[in-house]
Chains A and B, each alone.
Chain A
């Protein structure tokens, strides 16, 4: 991470770099501030914010030096700031795979936007449906 820093006792260097926990502390402070702003807008409690941060985190891409996945000692993993602030990375359709002619089926679409326990789903997603390529509705 690039930053300004001291060179010697009294000179400020233009750029120094630092990493690991020193960089992570500042980075995560910023991410939490960002997520807190979104939580305030959504009316979430502190507990709901904490739950949302965990839900938006993943250990999937954390590997050790031998490229093996590390599941222990890394907490809930790396925070996805986009999802922690209301964004979604994917949408899925829940529906049966087979239906009788004339049968009514229920279709449900859901994004992976983070919704902590007790919170309402975000209202900033608009869904548009097509059946066999023909637009059938939105909501």
Chain B
């Protein structure tokens, strides 16, 4: 709908005009940005005191989020066993695409050609002969209104 107004100054008969557009239609709520975490993690370790590097496609089974959800990016969390619990390693609590701690490290990426709601991610990780590397994939998700992108049968959680 186009709104026009003209304003006439009756003192000197000068006219001014302005125009405004109003879009008529149902209000569409803005999509919401969420950070979701893979409920599991990748773990690799030395068997014979040797270092190693590995490539994994995770999560297994090529799971997806509900239709309409969009993976905008993938990152990773370096995990560690602290007080008997697997949790983000101290000093590495912020998800990152790549971490190199020296003795262990990883890079998380998203293969090309996937559906927008696919959770498949590539994790490249490495370790030296003495350490275990554990990596949890973190998803930056655009969630449309009325959809819960966490609804993946337990593949995703809202905290690491």
A93 partner residues in chain B, CB cutoff 8 A = 3, 5, 18-20
At the interface, yes or no: B112 with Cβ under 8 Å from chain A?
no
Once the chains bind, are B8 and A95 in contact (CB under 8 Å)? Answer: no
A105–B23 CA distance with the chains assembled, in angstroms: 12
Once the chains bind, are B2 and A127 in contact (CB under 8 Å)? Answer: no
List residues of B (14-55) whose CB comes within 8 Å of A's CBs. 14, 16-27
A87–B12 CA distance with the chains assembled, in angstroms: 9
A119–B3 CA distance with the chains assembled, in angstroms: 29
B8, closest chain A residue (CB): A126
List residues of A (60-118) whose CB comes within 8 Å of B's CBs. 86-93, 95-101, 105, 107, 109, 111
At the interface, yes or no: A19 with Cβ under 8 Å from chain B?
no
Once the chains bind, are B22 and A97 in contact (CB under 8 Å)? Answer: yes
Once the chains bind, are B17 and A91 in contact (CB under 8 Å)? Answer: yes
A128–B4 CA distance with the chains assembled, in angstroms: 8
Q: Which of B10, B19, B20, B24 contacts A124 (CB 8 A)?
A: B10
Mark each residue of chain B from 66 to 96: 1 if its CB lies under 8 Å from any CB of chain A, else 0: 0000000000000000000000000000000
At the interface, yes or no: A26 with Cβ under 8 Å from chain B?
no
B6 to chain A, nearest CB (A): 5
Q: Could you count the A-B residue pairs with CB atoms below 8 Å apart for me: how many are there? A: 86
A89–B16 CA distance with the chains assembled, in angstroms: 8
A38–B32 CA distance with the chains assembled, in angstroms: 55
Once the chains bind, are A127 and B7 in contact (CB under 8 Å)? Answer: yes
A111 partner residues in chain B, CB cutoff 8 A = 7, 16
B5 partner residues in chain A, CB cutoff 8 A = 91, 93, 107, 109, 127-130
A126 partner residues in chain B, CB cutoff 8 A = 7-8, 10
At the interface, yes or no: A2 with Cβ under 8 Å from chain B?
no
At the interface, yes or no: A133 with Cβ under 8 Å from chain B?
yes
B7, closest chain A residue (CB): A91
B3 partner residues in chain A, CB cutoff 8 A = 93, 95, 107, 129-131
Taking Cβ atoms with an 8 Å cutoff, the residues of B that contact A are 1-12, 14, 16-27
Sampled A-B contacts (10; CB under 8 Å): A95-B22, A97-B21, A97-B23, A98-B24, A105-B22, A124-B9, A124-B11, A126-B7, A127-B5, A131-B4
Top 6 nearest A-B pairs by Cβ distance? A93-B20, A130-B4, A91-B16, A91-B7, A109-B5, A98-B23
